[in-house]
Amino acid sequence: MESARLIAGLARIVRDVGIAEELAQDALVSALEQWPEAGIPRNPGAWLMAAARNRAIDHFRRTKRIERKHQEIGRELEARQELSMAQFEASADDEIGDDLLRLIFTACHPVLTPEARVALTLRLLGGLTTAEIARAFLIAEPTVAQRIVRAKRTLAEAKVPFEIPHGAELASRLSSVLGVIYLIFNEGYAASSGDEWMRPSLCEDALRLGRILAELAPHEPEVLGLAALMEIQASRMPARMGLAGEPILLLDQNRGLWDRLLIRRGLAALERAERLHGEPGPYQLQAAIAACHARAKTPEETDWARIAELYEILARVAPSPVVELNRAVANGMAFGPTKGLEMVDALIDEPALRGYHLFSSVRGDLFFKLGRLDEAREAFERAAALTQNRREHDLMLARAKACLPG
């Protein structure tokens, strides 16, 4: 529970997340050795930080390449250790929020590859082991370990400052942070490969990170927008899967199973984001779209015209082929499948969508609604061939079978 806070506080001191993680682990080992005999201290977090700071001092002392700055930091730390524990406890909590925020920005730094950012974020902030990350993303444990080691080395070699960026840099770096968190959430919400439709533990990790970030940056509308989006999306998870683990699509879900607490949390975060100044960003707009579904008690009550309007804005703010595909779906629901298919077919030569299974799935659904069953079956079969998720593959084949006569 204290691991992320320890690493964040130590990284601010030593300016190296790899060393910070080692020092934090040393402090936790000391606690396991001493607490069974001495008893758990009144403030375990403060005890751990004090122990870790002592190890930071030792680290600076025994490093042959100590620079003047390190010597100054060492003397400062020794001076701090002379403070009484009461003084330390009073001041420690004030630094925790900024330290965690610095750690998030460091772990998600653009100098790292997206895969490395995800692995390092889950390791340092999510508290997952290398084996747990590997299982979550269905990749080899040595691959994850390599990514984490290389990420730490890259940050150290690039001398990435352990700080909260400001001005224009904040906006670009914040985008990277939000992208990492949402990538983690999406992989949990709709697994890209494997035998399971969802990986709820990844959604929970992303939700926790999103909530932490929303508390640390409450005046950033896109932070609140992402938090709102994930809360609302996560509210549907109990209804997204049948008893045998099969996928249940949005319009077929039992909305009575949706988590109303998560919906309220999401709508509250969205309302806070909307009260802030400025044009809505991509996450806030996606949260507003999710809110349209959350407010509809039945599929028939869904305000598809409003959703289509929001996708129109999103296509201007963050244009992409996938956004255009989703806009086509919304228009098909609002104004009929002919309109939807017309918009989808306009994307047929888009290179980014050629191997995208949901493009074929959307076409299949629109063909089915128009009674063009042979074309629908072919589209669903193509979608099944393109997806790497077994549950989704089976769903697409079942939809293709439903197009056969009799």
- The string of pLDDT tens digits covering residues 119-157 is 998 888 877 788 888 877 878 999 999 999 999 999 999
Structural domain includes residue 122: no
Q: Is the pTM of this model over 0.75?
A: yes
Structural domain includes residue 17: yes
Tell me what the mean pLDDT of segment 37-51 comes to: 86
Position 358, amino acid: L
Position 69, amino acid: K
Last residue in a domain, options 41, 64, 94? 94
pLDDT of residue 104: 87
Which residue's entry shows tokens 């009484």? 84
Say how many C-beta atoms besides its own lie within 10 A of residue 173's C-beta.
19
Q: Please work out, in degrees rounded to the nearest 5, the angle formed at the alpha carbon of residue 191 by the alpha carbons of 213 and 378.
A: 135
Q: Indicate whether 83 pLDDT > 60.
A: no
Question: What are the C-alpha distances in Å from 161 to residues 107, 111, 171?
Answer: 11, 12, 17
Q: How many domains does the chain have?
A: 2
Residue 313's nearest CA partner among 282, 269, 334, 339 is 282
Structural domain includes residue 398: yes
How many whole angstroms from its chain centre is CA 80? Answer: 36
Last residue in a domain, options 94, 110, 145? 94
pLDDT of residue 10: 82
Q: What is the DSSP letter of 312?
A: H
Structural domain includes residue 101: no
Higher pLDDT, 382 or 2: 382
Tokens found for residue 168: 């224009």
Confirm if 344 and 366 have CB atoms less than 8 A apart.
yes
Structural domain includes residue 335: no
Q: Indicate whether 366 pLDDT > 80.
A: yes
Structural domain includes residue 156: no
Structural domain of 398: 355-406
Structural domain includes residue 341: no
Last residue in a domain, options 69, 94, 119? 94
Structural domain includes residue 86: yes
